[in-house]
Amino acid sequence: MLKKTRYFNAATFIGFALLVSSCAQISTVKTNLDKENFEHYFSPGQVTIYAHEKDIASKHQLIGMVEGENCQAKPHLAMPNKIEARTQARRNAYQLGANGIVFSGCAEISTKQCHAMIVCYGKAYQIEQE
């Protein structure tokens, strides 16, 4: 009988502890997610690529020149590519407030910091939305 009482008391205590802890309010949750990271990551998608300035149908204004680069830090790493360099240029255009870009070209550049490097140049435009 004494054993049954002990088990009952232990089960009651554990049940009560679970009930109390499950009702506790969680005040803050900390994560490594940051709104700025999302804006930075998705910013190139907000900048439309045009082949030529004449292809921009709406009213537009040149904001400035931008560039993006992609570096192959060591020989055994992936070769630099134009897509990454152009994406970086679009990200830079977005930071200037542009929503359109016309690329003028890409070039391989030799630097001491990179085994190989590609830089893409473009003109960033603010285009009126219709």
Q: Is residue 71 part of a domain?
A: yes
Residue 48 confidence (pLDDT): 92
Q: Is residue 81 part of a domain?
A: yes
The more confidently predicted of residues 123 and 46 is 123
Asked if the model's pLDDT at residue 117 lies above 90, the reply is yes
CATH code of residue 61: 3.30.110.70
Mean per-residue pLDDT, 81-93 = 96
Q: Is residue 38 part of a domain?
A: no
- Using CA atoms, how far apart are residues 100 and 93, in angstroms rounded to an integer? 8
Q: Is residue 22 part of a domain?
A: no
Q: Burial, 13: exposed, middle or buried (Cβ in 10 Å; 0-12, 13-18, 19+)?
A: exposed
Q: Where is 13: in which H helix or E strand? A: helix 2-22
Tell me: the pLDDT tens digits for 3-33?
667 777 767 767 676 666 665 566 666 666 6
pTM for the whole structure? 0.68
Tell me: the pLDDT tens digits for 49-66?
999 999 999 999 999 999
Domain span holding position 100 = 46-127
Here the tokens at position 87 are 């994406």
